[in-house]
Structure 1
């Protein structure tokens, strides 16, 4: 499931992270870390590729106005719609942290991308992020005219955002909600078990054990939520009604086996899945799309875009 060694470009990313001396994250505190990450976001997202247009606006959310950023491709619409949820352990991230990834996804897929700035823990623990993600998806489905959309809809997310995309797909199926045509889960934070071989072998590469525990504490607040399928959809009794999926994992990621287990659950419940494991990659690799980034990140985005086009072209 993992290559003999980490790819040199991914190793270079790890070396840069080590020089920042951020880990363990818990020792810095949320406020300081968010400030530091704004600096790294700026560095990572400098000189972004152009898209047809971008628009920052708000949509109705369960706690008031919910910020989103809409990315439109070049050309004449209408276009399929992707609702995108960023990663960051439910504690970090936002519209800027994944701007580069969203821009590349727009350019590769030809879809309108709606990036959602959902509420973050610990200020807003579970289920705030889930409620925001679902509300944004409902809005996108109900307002195709505002997006110049065909009405076709996918949800996409990485890491914590991958978990949100999976949960939104489950909620939509169970509640007879918005019609989600496809879901893309990029190294999703689902099904994590400390006894998994990937957790045993690779905790400490990007994701450290104490940081994973800290994220859980910030987001869940109480262990009573851990078995809730809207917190982790691997706990759902039946996944048979959810949208077809692409599930992407990374070989040197402690979350790898949880993502693989979720893909296997989807298949067992009759859901069409394309599963791809990038054996020489690390958690977070898909956001490293800059000049000094990771070539396989571009490969992953291109494959995801192909899957979206195939899904939207299907009868």
Structure 2
């Protein structure tokens, strides 16, 4: 576990895998992110792709461990799912009739859970002054695609139907998530439109994983594929477990960049990080939405790495990103 007061010189030299990003923005990595990467490196943590899913889940929980902010009410319960009950955790401010964010955690559809993402959900609830329903969807490889997206959609349907029972407003429901969770939020938005399902007010997509390994190639996959916490080999490891059937590599609900139509989707916030292998696919998804007439707000943290929003105890940019996401949500949910 990283201590909240670790002390590594921020002027330390990065290893050869990492360098100033020489792309169009000519960015340099943020000193706090550099220090954190050096700390992780000195701890000798094995990469995700070298671990079993169980060990990788434990390692992520240790990395993202944090006390989190106080929230007026936190409640764990289960909702009906397509195959089995789905555990969820509700974060609610004081009062009633709250807007609601249905949140899907990241972790490559293989790792992560509501406990790991507790600090982020607390912070988002406070920043947006909304309730947050965090969804513990089924994980691969035990439950490969489409289990996660089916659970994600079931949670949206539940939220729209039963929002009033948890003191929320069914007319103001948003979806969001980071990385694989951003993928699920984007996929659920497409699915709800296609199925004439619940109306979604907004989608908060935090460095979303929206590309298909069979179709898409982006410069950031290679530029940032080693040394920046999420590595290209780990992305491949996740995808092999989530999408074992090659046919699913061309399914738009697995890779939303494959969708043919982006019209009539909810407004979106798309957050990207300069030293993230997923940077360019997030940018491309924002472009696709805008080209279809969807209102998009972009936030790019040029010196940041994948997963930085979870590292609230270590990176100032994490708090700044939460504030930006919260402000966008609050504006969208007040419409």
Question: Which TM-score tier does this pair reach, normalised by the shorter chain?
Answer: over 0.9
Cross-structure match for 1:239: 262
Which residue of 195, 202, 225 corresponds with 2:224? 202
Q: 1:4 to 1:39 in 2, by over 3 A?
A: closer
1:40 matched to 2:59: no
Shift of 1:141: 0.5
d(CA) in 2 for partners of 1:88, 1:144: 27
Take 1:19 and 1:134, find their aligned partners in 2: how far apart are those partners?
40
Are 1:269 and 2:289 counterparts? no
Q: Is contact 2:27-2:274 (8 Å) kept? A: no
Q: Please give the residue correspondences for 1:185-264 in structure 2 after superposition, counting only pairs within 5 Å.
A: 185-191=205-211, 195-204=217-226, 205-264=228-287
Deviation of 1:3 (Å): 5.0
Contact 1:250 1:256 in 2 (8 A): yes
Q: 2:329 aligns with which of 299, 308, 313?
A: 308
Q: Contact 1:234 / 1:262 at 8 angstroms: preserved in 2?
A: yes
Which of residues 247, 267, 282 is equivalent to 2:305? 282
Q: Which of 46, 49, 57 is the matching residue for 2:69?
A: 49
What pairs with 1:41-80 in structure 2 (closer than 5 Å)? Answer: 41=64, 44-46=65-67, 48-73=68-93, 75-80=94-99
Counterpart contact for 1:112–1:147, Cα < 8 Å: no
Cα distance in 1, alignment partners of residues 89 and 143 from structure 2: 21
Contact 2:270 2:298 in 1 (8 A): yes
Match in the other structure for 1:107: 126
Which residue of structure 1 aligns with residue 199 of structure 2?
179
Q: Which moved more, 1:215-224 or 1:6-15?
A: 6-15
Q: Report the more deviating stretch, 21-30 or 7-16.
A: 21-30
Q: Secondary structure at the match of 1:6?
A: coil
1:138 positional shift? 0.5
Cα separation, partners in 2 of 1:249 and 1:27, compared to 1, 3 Å? same
Structure 1 distance, partners of 2:291, 2:140, is 33
Aligned position for 1:129: 148
Is the Cα–Cα contact under 8 Å of residues 191 and 261 in structure 1 kept in the other structure? no
What is the deviation of 1:19?
A: 2.9
In the alignment, is the contact (CA less than 8 A) between 2:212 and 2:255 conserved in 1? no
Q: Is the 8 A contact 2:212 2:257 kept in 1?
A: no
- 1:17 corresponds in structure 2 to 40
Q: CA RMSD in A?
A: 1.4
Question: 5-14 vs 130-139, which deviates more?
Answer: 5-14
Residue of structure 2 equivalent to 1:145: 164
- Using the TM superposition, give the Cα deviation of residue 192 of structure 1 relative to its aligned residue in structure 2, in angstroms: 5.9
Contact 1:3 1:279 in 2 (8 A): no
Secondary structure at 1:275's aligned position in 2?
A: strand
The alpha-carbon distance between structure 1 residues 24 and 36, as it changes in their structure 2 partners (threshold 3 A), is: closer
Answer with 157-166 or 210-219: which moved more: 210-219
Deviation at 1:200, TM superposition (A): 1.8
Higher helix share: 1
- Aligned counterparts of 1:49 and 1:312: Cα–Cα separation in 2: 22
Residue aligned with 2:199, SS: coil
TM-score (norm 1): 0.94
Q: Counterpart of 2:203 in 1: which secondary structure?
A: strand
Q: Measure the CA separation in 2 of the matches of 1:217 and 1:260.
A: 24
Q: Please report how far the alpha carbon of residue 201 of structure 1 lies from its aligned counterpart in structure 2 after TM superposition.
A: 0.8
- TM-score of the superposed pair, with normalisation by structure 2: 0.89
CA distance in 2, matches of 1:200, 1:27: 20
Residues 38-85 of structure 1 deviation map (CA, whole Å, 9 limit, x = unaligned): 3334xx223x21101100000000111100000011x31211000000
Q: Which residue of 1 aligns with 2:11?
A: none
